[in-house]
Amino acid sequence: MLDGGCSNKNMTAIRMIDKALRTDLRIFLSIVITLTLIGLVFVYSASSVFAMETFGSSFYFVKKHLIGIAIGLAGIITLQFFSRETIKLIAPLLFLGALILTACTLVPAFAYRVHGSSRWIRFFHFTFQPSELLKMGLILFLAAYLPHKKRRSSFVYGYLPILCIILIPSLILLRQPDFGLTITLFFTTLLLLFVSQFEIKHILLTLLSFIPIGTLLILMRPYRLKRVLTFFNPWHDPQGSGFQVIQSLIAIGSGGFWGVGIAQSKQKFFYLPMQHTDFIFAIIAEEAGFIGAFILISLYLALLYSAIKIAQQLRDQFSQLVVIGFTTLVNLQAVINICVASGLLPTKGIALPFVSYGNTALVCNLWMVGGIMLLVRAEIK
């Protein structure tokens, strides 16, 4: 009788957790859908003038953005036919494949350079950014690998091998160069190590060592040093290195509290470069004002909160780490993007997740959402 009573209590607790998981997943998906719709509206608004002038159609970029959403949705649906165990098994292969593709950006025969960076691969008339696949592959690989890692308290046998693993993609990304993504992946990896209960002293030591290493990396490239100096005083060169940040600040300041109105931006008329990609937040703040910017930031915070709630209720550690890793990556990118647009960080080529134009990033982010759906459904079953 006692065993039966305990069993019933356990089943009731599991049902309650499953119900809460379903609710939190719905909230999570609702936030993703809202961010994606906001992106659709503002990609059109921010890019329409440039698209009309360059390609003869104001819908040029938003049509491509819709294709990215369609591919992302197709991936979400396809992922639901996989099992959690299958994803665990293929995670190392996904990481290796993404690593090879990212390394191909350093080969002139495959590389496609934009603004001096070799981050893209061109295949006929199609270009994509393999580092977006690398982000996804790395999170899945670490989530599959870390729970089985033994001797976590040992620096040489437990911690150092993980650093060596993250060092390989970091060197490739720095060679492209993509300093911003390197930092983002670095901090996401450290958080996953912390969640996986690796020694905190080793993590803190790594963080401290990043100060001299980061300083050296900045000094090694004159353009990075110039960006840092511009960050402290963009008005020193208002028509050169400080132009983009100044125009972004003008856009944000012009929005006031309520904004100038959707599609009414003045800065998108060839004043603000990259207005539909890296600096789309400035256009949102200009057109939707402080209230629009506040809502957008609140959505990212709500996404983080709902993901934490989901991760806390998941019993499988692989699933927990995937949810934490993906949401950390998204929010780190959002923080960096918004801070850059607001003049709070030096310029970095990091898009605003789900919102900025950039189909490779959008597709991979939606696929990761599909992966989270799969993992939550596997837990509920």
Confidence of residue 32 (pLDDT cuts 50, 70, 90): very high
Segment 127-144, tens digit of pLDDT: 889 999 999 999 999 999
Which of 10-14, 180-184, 222-226, 244-248 is the least confident region? Answer: 10-14
Interval 74-90 mean pLDDT: 95
Residue found under tokens 């299958």: 86
Has residue 148 got a pLDDT over 90?
Answer: no
DSSP per position, 60-86: HHHHHHHHHHHHHHHHHHHHTTS-HHH
Give the model's pLDDT for residue 4. Answer: 56
Domain ranges in the chain are 34-81+237-381, 88-220
181 close to 129: Cβ distance less than 8 angstroms? no
Q: What percent of the chain has pLDDT over 90?
A: 68
**Tokens for 323?**
């949810």
Interval 264-293 mean pLDDT: 95
Which of 82-86, 137-141, 179-183, 224-228 is the least confident region? Answer: 224-228
Has residue 36 got a pLDDT over 90?
Answer: yes
Give the model's pLDDT for residue 68. Answer: 96
Give the model's pLDDT for residue 110. Answer: 80
Has residue 107 got a pLDDT over 90?
Answer: no
Has residue 2 got a pLDDT over 70?
Answer: no
Give the model's pLDDT for residue 13. Answer: 59
Has residue 67 got a pLDDT over 90?
Answer: yes
Using omega within 30 degrees of 0 as the cis cutoff, is the peptide bond preceding 346 cis? no
Has residue 8 got a pLDDT over 80?
Answer: no
C-alpha distances in Å from residue 270, one per residue of 52, 125, 234, 255: 12, 26, 19, 17
Give the model's pLDDT for residue 224. Answer: 81
H or E element, residue 121: strand 117-123
CA–centroid distance for 20 within its chain: 26
H or E element, residue 113: strand 111-114
CA distance linking residue 218 with residue 225, whole number of Å: 6
Interval 98-125 mean pLDDT: 83
Confidence of residue 10 (pLDDT cuts 50, 70, 90): low
Give the model's pLDDT for residue 222. Answer: 81
CA–centroid distance for 214 within its chain: 21
Confidence of residue 116 (pLDDT cuts 50, 70, 90): low
For the CA atoms of the chain, what is the radius of gyration?
22
Has residue 7 got a pLDDT over 80?
Answer: no
Give the model's pLDDT for residue 188. Answer: 94
Mean pLDDT of the chain: 90
The reported pTM is 0.92
Give the model's pLDDT for residue 260. Answer: 96
Segment 191-245, tens digit of pLDDT: 999 999 888 999 999 999 988 988 888 888 887 888 888 888 888 888 888 899 9
Give the model's pLDDT for residue 285. Answer: 97
Residue found under tokens 């506040």: 294
Cα dihedral across residues 331, 336, 340, 343: positive or negative: positive
Confidence of residue 381 (pLDDT cuts 50, 70, 90): low
Give the model's pLDDT for residue 14. Answer: 64
Has residue 115 got a pLDDT over 80?
Answer: no
